C-alpha cells in the first residue's frame, strides 16, 4: 500500500491548476473579444439607422426632394414670424393671450395653404417605388396640420371665454387624441425630420 505525501498531492493539484489557467485566460479573451464586437456592432447599427443612407429607404421619404427643400425654407419663414410674437408671460390677460395665439395660428394657416398649393402643383400621384406617392404622403401630413390649426383655434376660444374662476390647468393647450401611445404632432414632426424638413416641425409657441 502506498500513500501520497501531502506535498506531493499539492504538487499534483498545482500542476492541474497550472494547465487550466491558460484555458481560462483564453476563454476570458474570447469573452472580451465578443463583448467588444457586440459594442462595435451596436454602434455601427445605430449610426447607420440615423444616417441619410438608411432614411432614403423609408417608404415615407419623398421622392421629390425639390418640394422638401422648398417646404423647409417656407416653414423657416413661418417659424421666424411666430418666434417673434409675444409669449404667454407677456400677456396681461387671457383675452390678450388668445389674440397672441390667433396671430400665430394665422401664420400657421397661411403656411399650410402655401404647402398645399405647392404640393398640388408639383407632387406626383404615382410612384415608381414601393411606397405611397408623394402627393398622398404630403396630403396625409397636411391633414394633420389642419387638425393642429383647429386645435389652436379651440385653444384661443377657451382662453377668450374663460372667466376669472376658471383654473389655469383647464386652459392648457389640448390636442385631439388620434393615435395610441403618441400624439398626431409627433407623427407630423417625424415626417418632417425624415424628409429633412426640420423647420416644418410643430411651432413651440403654445
With beta carbons less than 8 A apart as the criterion, state whether 78 and 122 touch: no
DSSP 119-157: HHHH--S--SSSS--HHHHHHHHHHHHHHHHHHHHHHHH
C-alpha cell at 16: 492541474
Nearest Cα neighbor of 50 from 197, 196, 182 is 196
Residuewise pLDDT in 10s, the chain (206 residues):
444 444 444 444 444 445 556 666 667 676 667 655 655 554 444 444 444 554 456 889 999 999 999 999 999 999 999 999 999 999 999 999 999 999 999 999 999 999 999 999 999 888 766 679 999 999 999 999 999 999 999 999 999 988 887 877 777 887 876 666 678 999 999 999 999 999 999 999 99
Q: Helices 134-161 and 184-194, interaxial angle, to 10°?
A: 140
The DSSP line for 11-32 is HHHHHHHHHHHHHHHHHHHHHH
Count the Cβ atoms, other than its own, within 10 Å of residue 127: 15
pTM greater than the 0.85 cutoff: no
Cβ neighbours of residue 128 closer than 8 Å, sequence gap 6 or more: 63
Residue position matching grid coordinates 383647429: 150
Amino acid at each position: 500500500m502506498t500513500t501520497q505525501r501531502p506535498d506531493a498531492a499539492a504538487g499534483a493539484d498545482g500542476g492541474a491548476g497550472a494547465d487550466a489557467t491558460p484555458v481560462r485566460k483564453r476563454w476570458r479573451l474570447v469573452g472580451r473579444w465578443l463583448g467588444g464586437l457586440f459594442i462595435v456592432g451596436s454602434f455601427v447599427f445605430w449610426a447607420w439607422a440615423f444616417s441619410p443612407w438608411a432614411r432614403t429607404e423609408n417608404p415615407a421619404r419623398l421622392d421629390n426632394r425639390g418640394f422638401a427643400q422648398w417646404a423647409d425654407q417656407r416653414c423657416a419663414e413661418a417659424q421666424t414670424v411666430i418666434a417673434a410674437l409675444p409669449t404667454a408671460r407677456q400677456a396681461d390677460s387671457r383675452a390678450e393671450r388668445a389674440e397672441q395665439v390667433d396671430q400665430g395660428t394665422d401664420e400657421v394657416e397661411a403656411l399650410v395653404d402655401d404647402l398645399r398649393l405647392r404640393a398640388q402643383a408639383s407632387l406626383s400621384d404615382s410612384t415608381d417605388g414601393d411606397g405611397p406617392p408623394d402627393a398622398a404622403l404630403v396630403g396625409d401630413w397636411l391633414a394633420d396640420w389642419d387638425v393642429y390649426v383647429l386645435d389652436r383655434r379651440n385653444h384661443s376660444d377657451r382662453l377668450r371665454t374663460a372667466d376669472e374662476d376658471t383654473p389655469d390647468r383647464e386652459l392648457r393647450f389640448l390636442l385631439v387624441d388620434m393615435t395610441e401611445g403618441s400624439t398626431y404632432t409627433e407623427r407630423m414632426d417625424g415626417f418632417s425630420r425624415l424628409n429633412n424638413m426640420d423647420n416644418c416641425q410643430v411651432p413651440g409657441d403654445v
